[in-house]
Amino acid sequence: MTVEQKIFAEWLVSPSIHAFSTTRLGGVSEPPYASFNLATHVGDDPHRVASNRVLLQQQLSQKLEWQWLDQVHGSDVVVVNKAGPALTADAMLTTRANLVCCVQTADCLPVFIAAMDGSEVAVIHAGWKGLASGVIENTVSRMSTSISNLAVWLGPAIGPCHFEVGGEVRDDFLAAVESSSFVPAMEACFISSKNEGKFMADLYAIARLRLSAIGVDKISGGDYCTHCDDDKFFSYRRDGVTGRMLNAIYIEA
């Protein structure tokens, strides 16, 4: 039986760029981490997580070095030239070949960015807090590629069908809109929920809008809901104690 263990980015970039999100399928972890959990900080047996990481790494070039993050829902970006211990940040970029930039998610939005010529890559852990505090804009501003040569793929995140937030979250995003011309589009990212004072938020649409506002126009992906698809994805909001998917991007030498 073949299982869909990776979902590959669909975008028009150099074939030297590899980007994918893992699913929860095909690993060795037991419930509630079943089965392909790649995170060490969620309470899973560390030996099983290590086995899952080895399973993944064996499928790819042995020349790859892997850089992980300790994610804190902030807006800091690290520029990486060599793999080392996990760094505290929510976004990572590199121009070095064979260096895999990793973020872990279970509902938050993974944003993959590539220089279309294959010279530079980045990946971002973007929950609503990171989005609101500018993690996407910070990452793009640290990249040396001109904005017109950047492409973005939005990996699997919780969809607007399931991501309910309080009115204060909507207020934060509306207050941060820099040009009044974007206000109606930002308002459209929040649909009134059946619960009084709550909204169903569209992380994909928010990310697209904020990318558009800084001039990034080649954006693909955003077709999944991690909460809806229990078979394929971990979802923190659905399950609480659960595993994490890996979102990885690298330049092949």
Binding residues for Zn ion, rule: CB under 5 A, are: 159, 161-162, 225, 227-228
Q: What share of the chain is helix, strand, coil (3-state, %, to 5)?
A: 25, 25, 50
Q: Compare residues 29 and 235 and give the one whose CB is closer to Zn ion.
A: 235
Give the nearest distance from C-beta 228 to Zn ion in angstroms.
3
Q: Compare residues 53 and 208 and give the one whose CB is closer to Zn ion.
A: 208
Q: Compare residues 70 and 223 and give the one whose CB is closer to Zn ion.
A: 223
Give the nearest distance from C-beta 112 to Zn ion in angstroms.
21
Residue 122 has which token pair? Answer: 């980045």
- DSSP code of residue 11: S
Closest CA to 21 of 125, 118, 117: 125
Give the nearest distance from C-beta 162 to Zn ion in angstroms.
4
Give the nearest distance from C-beta 159 to Zn ion in angstroms.
4
Residue of minimal Cβ distance to Zn ion: 225
Give the nearest distance from C-beta 233 to Zn ion in angstroms.
10
Cβ within 8 Å of residue 81, ≥6 positions away: 94, 95, 96, 99
Q: Compare residues 129 and 162 and give the one whose CB is closer to Zn ion.
A: 162
Q: Compare residues 204 and 250 and give the one whose CB is closer to Zn ion.
A: 204
User: What angle in degrees, to the nearest 10, is found between the helix axes of 135-142 and 203-213?
Assistant: 40
CB 233 within 8 A of CB 156: yes
Q: Compare residues 87 and 165 and give the one whose CB is closer to Zn ion.
A: 165
Give the nearest distance from C-beta 29 to Zn ion in angstroms.
23
Closest CA to 152 of 86, 199, 85, 218: 218
Asked if residue 61 has a cis previous peptide bond (ω within 30° of 0), the answer is no
Rg for the chain, CA atoms, rounded: 17
